[in-house]
Structure 1
Amino acid sequence: MKYILNKKYWAPIALLSMMVLGMLFTSCDNNDSEGGTITITKVFLEDVNSTVPDREVNFARLGQLLRIEGSGFTGLKKVYINGYSTYFNVVFVSNNSMLVSVSADTPISDADPSVRNTIRFVNDSHEVTFPFQIRAGKPAITSISNTLPNAGEKITIYGTGLTEVSKVIFPGNVEVTSGITSDEDGEMFTVVVPAGISDLGGSIYAETSNGGVYSPKYFNFKKGIILDFDGIGQHSFWGTPPATGMILGTDIESASIGTGNISHGKYVPHRPSRLTSIAAATGRATEVWTGGTGVDNWRAQLTPYIPATTPLDKVAFQFDIYVPDAWKDSGYLKICTINNFNAGTWSGGVYNYIPWLVDGKSVAFQTTGWTTITIPLNKFYQWSKEAATFETVLTYRETATYQNFGIWFENADVKMKDVLGTASEVEFPSKATSVKVYTDNWRIVPLDTPVYNDFN
């Protein structure tokens, strides 16, 4: 019977053979050998989880295992990566090949410029320095200060590994290579938004010293807007004026407000100017709604871009907020997927947004300009304990009697047992408040993020 070896096993077997040969031919008294001239010809990344487990590369990341080909490795005493003395096991060293892992302690941006992106090999009588790029872990984008900014405004992109950003590409393949300011710690960078970005939205791509990275596909996603008070979506209100708690058409404001990221036309004040303050223990203090039954059609509007089968952790409600003065201690926004809830609700298709509550403490929340808030739909209480899809939300709304989506300002006591879902005696009694809170551009957005491939 004839057996054929699958190609995917060739590289691991070859690597194992090299290790065995290394053990056979590497002298146990390696430290006593002076060694000869060292040459480096190729560097390979060893990754058994990859479709190419033994890949020739010109860079590596912290923690990765490298196989180095060349000559003169017998008698090798030291390996320095970015100037950092890196451990290697002489058992895995032969005269023509060796294994070495890039230590997590290897300096990257803070490495001395004279040794950055180099590997130096040293024996008793010779040494060679090989130019080779060393990167930190893969960069990631966790949030964007404003995902629906005006052209010409500056935005801040937050994440990890965002060092030395050299290029940013916006949806519509609009490229920016100047005016980018990077944080030394790689936790953020700023960039001025160019004109001409696609209204279909998508991901922002950034090129860093650690490689490329994508944001979620929610940037400039105007197709997801369900209400912007400027013609997209329908602002609905009812009752006999003056209806104290209902945000009427006459309550909507349009004066330009905000610094840095300014308002887009009309927006909603959650404490309209006709109210000087909101009393303590006021449940549905003020409320604003979309058109609802017979008007809203999320399935038709959104599923061409966000399939109904999308997991809820990959779909979010997003809105822009402006809070010019410190907001703390009392009041929050109740975000309702349908109009069928009572004040004080901590269950069902709602989410209570309390920006001043941080790690169980009241911390002042304030913005200088308009800031984007992103709340994944699986954070809404109805779906927080189950693995649901966007279809679940669509059906939930379509079977409701009142299909209005809305936000109301609730000035009720905040109890940590409700916030955490576990026993707690901590609570924040409500207080009268005159805080100014504005929102705009309510939208449903995708959260899926393209994966950057180092070798694509």
Structure 2
Amino acid sequence: MSRIGLARQRPSARQGVGGKVTNQNSPMKNYKVRLLPLLAILGCLSWLSGCQQDEVNAPPVVERFRLLDPIKKDSTFTAAVPGTLLVIQGKNLNNAVNVYFNDFPAAFNPVYNTAENLIITIPAQTPTAVTAPKVSNKVRIVTTHGEGTFDFTVVQAPPVIASISNENASPGDSITIAGANFFGVSKIVFPGNLEVDSTRFRPNREGTLIRVRVPANMTQSGPLSIVATFGTTTTPAPINYVTGPGVLCNFDDVNTFAGWSGTASKDATLFPGNKGSFGYLSVKGIVGGNSEWWTSGRSINVNETQWIAPANLKAPVSDYALKFEIFVKTPWKTGTMLITPNRDAKPNSYTYRYTPWKIGTASVDFQTTGWQTVTIPLSEFRTSNGTGDAAPSLEALLGAAGKNQFQMMLVADTDGMGEVSIGVDNIRVVSNKAVK
């Protein structure tokens, strides 16, 4: 027998010890082999979950501030004026509870709050270095999982003119300019480039009022400007404007007064401080519910004249306003002045209900110490005797030619109307669009 034939065979790869055959594809071994990758994946997921949990519990991080406007979404900045709508971008911004600009709380809609974005408006009342020199110049974001403080400067906004007490005051008279952000004002520029420097006026502490005297040599009409450290603002409409396009009646050289129950006069003792003639309404008392505007000095009527040039009738209704000066000598506390561009009122005619004695739901005695300017945006004229829908266009309000009449009339409410004496002058339609 050959040696080869006597040699003992080594167990093959498919044999166990003692030559027993084993099966490498047994269910148990396959289970173990397949389980290893699964355990590895589960381990990674657990690690990632832990990382994500750490991020969720981490304090907020701000990476940049940008404008919400999609056209300007690539803009980034570290300073803005109050009233700016911006997007705070970063990490862990979700579940925000409070946001503060210079320690002043800012409201926001949680619907627009995600882990990466927070949309918010800087409050108009946010203090700045001008109003509070020791402001922090910080934004503080408080979330349910932490808080953070970040550098951001709220800069003072430019001045804003809301109204002028008398836009047609005589030279030398004092006027009050109301608005906001009257800080660092260096001068006020009247028509004719007449400058009044800051040594001749002083804004109030809140920066909302300036009392100043009209230059004695002012003869021109034009806009008024306020020049300040943080910008310049200009009135959209001219002051000292008594003649020109849009002037419906000044009772002097533009005298379209149609008479009726009101009166025109130049007697300065009736309503002192005016320039030239004026119209006035005077009633001794009206029974409640009496709407007979054509009797007892209760209306001023103006013949048809050009309100707005035809070329401008496609502009938004809100771009224009009706203005006039008024002098109320006796306390006015009931009744309504209806103002309309059409004397032949119809259900679809547009009317404004002027009731200056109403302040919200309260009633006060309205009386002026002299002439003051009334401004009524044309967008406030409504159908149904002033209580219905606003005019959708200037053509709907005035007609295709932009011409119409004008009427103001006193009517009594259910409570009636006591004695009232009202002077009116310089009825005009002017631009109400802010100058940019």
Pairwise TM-score range, normalised by the shorter structure: 0.5 to 0.7
CA RMSD of the aligned region, Å? 4.0
Tell me, yes or no, if structure 1 residue 207 matches structure 2 residue 231.
no
Partners of 1:447 and 1:55 in 2: CA distance: 33
- Offset of residue 318 of structure 1: 0.7
Partners of 1:303 and 1:213 in 2: CA distance: 26
What amino acid does structure 2 have at the position aligned with 1:288?
Answer: I
TM-score by length of 1: 0.59
Q: Is the 8 A contact 1:62 1:137 kept in 2?
A: yes
Aligned to 2:289: 281
Aligned to 1:309: 314
Unaligned runs of at least 5 residues, structure 2: 1-63, 87-101, 105-121, 139-152
Structure 1 residues 106 and 406: alpha-carbon distance in aligned structure 2, compared to 1, 3 A threshold? closer
Q: Is the 8 A contact 2:394 2:402 kept in 1?
A: no
Identity among equivalent pairs (%) = 25
Aligned to 2:204: 183
Q: Matched residue of 1:236: which SS?
A: coil
Tell me, yes or no, if structure 1 residue 297 matches structure 2 residue 301.
no
TM-score by length of 2: 0.62
Partners of 1:387 and 1:435 in 2: CA distance: 31
Unaligned runs of at least 5 residues, structure 1: 1-43, 66-82, 86-102, 120-132, 239-245, 414-428, 452-456
Q: Is the 8 A contact 1:166 1:180 kept in 2?
A: no
Partners of 2:377 and 2:189 in 1: CA distance: 25
Q: Matched residue of 1:216: which SS?
A: coil
- Offset of residue 289 of structure 1: 1.0
- 1:416-427 pair list within 5 angstroms: none
CA deviations 1:334-378 (Å, max 9, x no partner) are: 112111138xx8x62211211111112211111111110011111
- 1:123-272 pair list within 5 angstroms: 135-178=155-198, 179-194=200-215, 195-196=217-218, 198-199=220-221, 201=222, 203-222=223-242, 223=244, 224-237=246-259, 246-248=261-263, 252-256=265-269, 262-271=273-282
CA deviations 1:29-49 (Å, max 9, x no partner) are: xxxxxxxxxxxxxxx997686
421, 429, 432: which is aligned to 1:444? 429
Aligned to 1:323: 328
Partners of 2:68 and 2:354 in 1: CA distance: 44
Partners of 1:63 and 1:370 in 2: CA distance: 34
- Offset of residue 185 of structure 1: 0.8
- Offset of residue 138 of structure 1: 3.8
Larger radius of gyration: 2
Q: Is the 8 A contact 1:225 1:233 kept in 2?
A: no
- Offset of residue 387 of structure 1: 6.3
- Offset of residue 270 of structure 1: 0.7
- Offset of residue 386 of structure 1: 5.1
Structure 1 residues 436 and 360: alpha-carbon distance in aligned structure 2, compared to 1, 3 A threshold? same
Structure 1 residues 379 and 111: alpha-carbon distance in aligned structure 2, compared to 1, 3 A threshold? closer
What amino acid does structure 2 have at the position aligned with 1:445?
Answer: V
Aligned to 2:26: none
Partners of 1:363 and 1:63 in 2: CA distance: 32
Partners of 2:361 and 2:373 in 1: CA distance: 23
- Offset of residue 175 of structure 1: 2.2
Partners of 2:269 and 2:184 in 1: CA distance: 34
CA deviations 1:434-456 (Å, max 9, x no partner) are: 122111111111101112xxxxx
Q: Is the 8 A contact 1:338 1:397 kept in 2?
A: no
Between 1:371-380 and 1:210-219, the stretch displaced more is 210-219
Partners of 2:327 and 2:83 in 1: CA distance: 42
Structure 1 residues 406 and 63: alpha-carbon distance in aligned structure 2, compared to 1, 3 A threshold? closer
Partners of 2:219 and 2:232 in 1: CA distance: 20
Structure 1 residues 225 and 256: alpha-carbon distance in aligned structure 2, compared to 1, 3 A threshold? farther
Structure 1 residues 312 and 62: alpha-carbon distance in aligned structure 2, compared to 1, 3 A threshold? closer
Structure 1 residues 158 and 106: alpha-carbon distance in aligned structure 2, compared to 1, 3 A threshold? closer
Tell me, yes or no, if structure 1 residue 355 matches structure 2 residue 366.
no
